[in-house]
Structure 1
Amino acid sequence: MNIPRLRRRCLTGTSALALLITTAACSSSDDKASVVVPSPAAKAAGLCRDLHGQLPEKVDGLKRTDPGPASELTAGWGDPAIILRCGVERPPEMIDPEYAKKNSVRVNDVAWLLQKHDDGSYTFTTGARLAYVEVTLPEERTGDGLGPLTDFAEPIKKTVPKGIA
């Protein structure tokens, strides 16, 4: 049997304890989604912490399952997860008036820039707010259209004022 070198190293060990430690190091038992945590300026980070406290327990009927690493700047719902990240950088496409005009939606008085990805997922980023909030819908969650964004409108309006970040 041809075992790859890394796997072979992980299986070497002389005691049950060594085998247990090695196995734990070679595999992950954490099935949570993981995301890159944004690093916004202090003002935006404060707004994002306020938003985090207002986020719903369910989005589009999906239970909250926050991704790792734990952060007040990220949240998730369902599996595969709808992921929210607050304090992200402004998408470069937002600067292009033609792109923004063709790819903008407004849901319950919150403006979003829409970006479709090759894998079938969508990313929506708020515009005209003092912190940019990004919501990614995996392909499996796009069948409900903009439905998930309605659950974010009130918390965003309450905690992230209109303005230019």
Structure 2
Amino acid sequence: MTHLRHRPLLVLSAVAVLAAAGCSSSDATDKVAVPTPPAQEARACEALDKLLPDTVAGRQRHDPTPDSPLTARWGDGDAEIVLRCGIPRPDEMSDPTLPGVGVDGVDWTVEKRDQGPRFITQYRDPYVELLTGTRYANDASVLQAFAAPIAKTLRKTV
């Protein structure tokens, strides 16, 4: 009987250790590569960051590490949305087979991925990338939250 009483305590201790490890701020899934654009583009990205919404598609903003005005995040898992501003022009932009979508005056290239779609602004300087989770595999409505801030802060190139 005594043996059974101690076993749950060991299990609870192991669960507590795993839970604490999972809450670590150094979790690899929290890290996002920060772009390194030229100074003028970085200033435009900083202006965009100030206008980004607190919530997108019902998901609360919680920025990734390292902290930077060039990156932002909303949601988690299959509903995650990660923004990176000031990325170099992706090679995929030259692929004429990739579809595009226009949302409220902002045009995007759409790249399908197993992890969820990747959206890249077209005809804007600097480029903005949105990496989205699988929940948005067939849903570009998430782009509406970004149209006004992008249109207001990022120069149209055509």
In structure 1, C-alpha distance between the alignment counterparts of 2:45 and 2:143, rounded to whole Å: 17
Counterpart position of 1:94: 93
Q: Distance in 2 between the 1:72 and 1:120 partners?
A: 24
Structure 1 unmatched runs, 5+: 1-22
Aligned ranges for residues 25-64 of structure 1 at < 5 Å?
A: 29-30=24-25, 31=27, 33-64=30-61
Which amino acid counterpart does residue 86 of structure 1 have in structure 2?
C
Alignment of 1:75-90 (within 5 A): 75-80=72-77, 81-90=80-89
Q: For residues 7-156 of structure 1, what are the structure 2 equivalents within 5 Å? A: 29-30=24-25, 31=27, 33-80=30-77, 81-96=80-95, 98-99=96-97, 102-117=98-113, 119-139=114-134, 141-142=135-136, 145-156=139-150
Structure 2: any 5+ residue segments left out of the alignment? Answer: 1-16
Which amino acid counterpart does residue 158 of structure 1 have in structure 2? Answer: K
Q: Which moved more, 1:31-40 or 1:68-77?
A: 31-40
Distance, in Å, in 1 between the alignment partners of 2:54 and 2:67 is 16
Q: TM-score, normalised by structure 2?
A: 0.78
Deviations 1:20-42, CA, capped at 9 Å, x for gaps: xxx9xxx6712562110000111
Give me the whole-angstrom Cα distance separating, in 1, the residues matched to 2:138 and 2:100. Answer: 17
Following TM superposition, where does structure 1 have runs of at least 4 consecutive aligned residues deviating by more than 3 angstroms?
Answer: none
1:93 & 1:65 partners in 2: Cα distance? Answer: 28
